[in-house]
Amino acid sequence: MTVAGLVVGATACSSGGGTSSSQAADSGSYTVWDPYPQFAGDSAWVKLLDGCGSRAGVKVERRAFDTTDLTNKALLAAQQDNAPDVLILDNPVVSTLAEAGVLTTTDENKVDTSKVDPNLLAAGQSGGKTYGTPIGANTLALYYNKDVLTEAGVDISSVKDWKSLTTALDKVRKAGKKGITFSATGTEEGSFQFLPWFWGSGAKLTELDSAQGVSALSLWRDWLEKGYAPDSVINNTQTTSWQEFASGEYAFAENGTWQLAGAEKAGFDYGVLPIPGADGGSAAAPTGGEFVTVPVQGDSGRYATTRKLVSCLTSAENLYDTDTTLSYVAPTAGVRAKQTAAKPELKPWVDAVKAAKGRTSDDLGTRYPRISEQMWKAVQSALSGSQSPKGALTAAQDAVE
């Protein structure tokens, strides 16, 4: 994900309590590892880290890694008893490190998560325990081109469920326009984009080949067969599918909050609609975004100061500035209200995030990557025509088991 430069300021942090051991730990350096290598030392993000350190009375030493590299480095550091004090992770990775014994729980580190929405906090939970707090969330929704829909005679307010969406696509197709584009590529991106339809059918990840799951994959397959979606979706990434929509030829595109800046520059009037469930309402879309976590330390006295750093990084003021610039929706109602007051067009995204769900929720933990791999393989098989939706998902479920 490409992120613009942050414009944030360090604000007052909660002071927290302190024992003699924690006060001794307060002097010195505290390490923060994050997945934002695009932020240089003079960036506002690093200034925020430094400011939070100053308010806690310590120096922050920051290291940045690509997401995959960060996970591997964190596991190795834990094995060597040299973990960072604060670790900022992509949310699906939290359960992996938690199950590996790398992270402390919020009961242990006393980080306050009381204001965080439960559905967003769930992405950082495993075995009934919470292992961090989200710094922000993004998710998926449907962008739509108002001009294309007007020419096709489609009233966007009529799109409430799968049937009405398919009817709209049919009208668009008959008007000589293109319907919907999305990413069904054979990677996690493909699973990420399929999940709103899978969950929107009522299906569960523990039963890929349920009748509901088959109905979701059949929906996508039918769209391709009828020309409502292009064959290119099989290879599309989220970036290339966005490029198709940005051409101005498509009525709809499934994509995320991170494309808001591109939408503003697209040159046509657009809107955003939460992805509908099969029978109406907003489907649960998967949450993206990072969690701020506290790794296990040999010296437990360090946790009091670490808590000050985490509280500062996730304070209302800093969440607002950080999440607005990252095109994230804030994980707390108070900050979201401030975001929508400043930018009312964020409301559809707020609604989508309220309905969103963590990929590792339902206590899937480290089972999710295996399930996801079989899911995207099933999507590829069904959309390419090599298997029926039922056959592809049955094979996927058998492989998982």
Residue 1, Cβ density class (10 Å: 0-12 exposed, 13-18 middle, ≥19 buried): middle
Q: Which two tokens stand for residue 162?
A: 């799968």
Q: What tens digit of pLDDT does each residue of 205-217 get?
A: 999 999 999 999 9
Mean pLDDT of 287-314: 95
Please provide the average confidence, as pLDDT, over all residues in the chain: 91
pLDDT at 6: 35
Top-confidence residue, 94 or 324: 94
Average pLDDT over residues 43-49: 89
Task: Examine the pLDDT at 17 and tell me if it is beyond 70.
Answer: no
User: What is the percent of the chain with per-residue pLDDT over 90, rounded to a whole number?
Assistant: 82
Residue 12 confidence class, pLDDT cut points 50, 70, 90: very low
Q: Answer with the residue of higher pLDDT: 38 or 162.
A: 162
User: Residue 182: its pLDDT value, please?
Assistant: 98
pLDDT at residue 26, as a whole number: 55
Class of domain 140-286+363-400 (CATH, top level) = alpha beta
Q: Tell me, what's the pLDDT at 42?
A: 87
Alpha helices in 122-237, H assignment, sequence order: 146-151, 162-174, 188-200, 211-225
Phi (first) and psi of residue 256, to 5 degrees: -115, 180
- State the DSSP code for 286: B
Predicted confidence band at 110 (pLDDT cuts at 50, 70, 90)? very high
Query: For residue 25, what pLDDT band results from cuts at 50, 70 and 90?
Result: low
Q: Give the angle 192-230-251 at the CA atoms, nearest 5°.
A: 85
Asked whether residue 18 carries a pLDDT value surpassing 60, the answer given is no
Distance (Å, rounded) from C-alpha 34 to C-alpha 37?
8
Comparing CA positions, the residue from 228, 252, 247 lying closest to residue 146 is 252
The helix-helix angle for 211-225 and 389-400 (nearest 10°) equals 140
Residues 6+ apart with CB under 8 A from 312: 10, 11, 12, 13, 14, 51, 52, 55, 56, 318
The three-state secondary structure class of 59 is strand
This prediction has a pTM of 0.84
Is the pLDDT at 38 greater than 50, yes or no? yes
What type of residue sits at position 265? K
Q: Say which residue, 149 or 23, is predicted with more confidence.
A: 149
Looking at residue 16, its pLDDT comes to 34
Which residue is listed with tokens 């059918």? 201
So what CATH class is 20-134+290-327? alpha beta
Residue extent(s) of CATH 3.40.190.10 domains in the chain: 20-134+290-327, 140-286+363-400
Residue 321 has pLDDT above 90, yes or no: no
Q: Which residues contact 267 (CB under 8 A, 6 or more apart)?
A: 248
Mean pLDDT for 145-159 is 98
Question: What is the share, in percent, of the chain residues with pLDDT greater than 70?
Answer: 93
- pLDDT at position 10: 36
β-sheet with 29-34: strand ranges across: 59-64, 29-34, 86-90, 290-293, 133-134
For 347-367, write each residue's pLDDT tens digit: 999 999 999 999 998 888 889
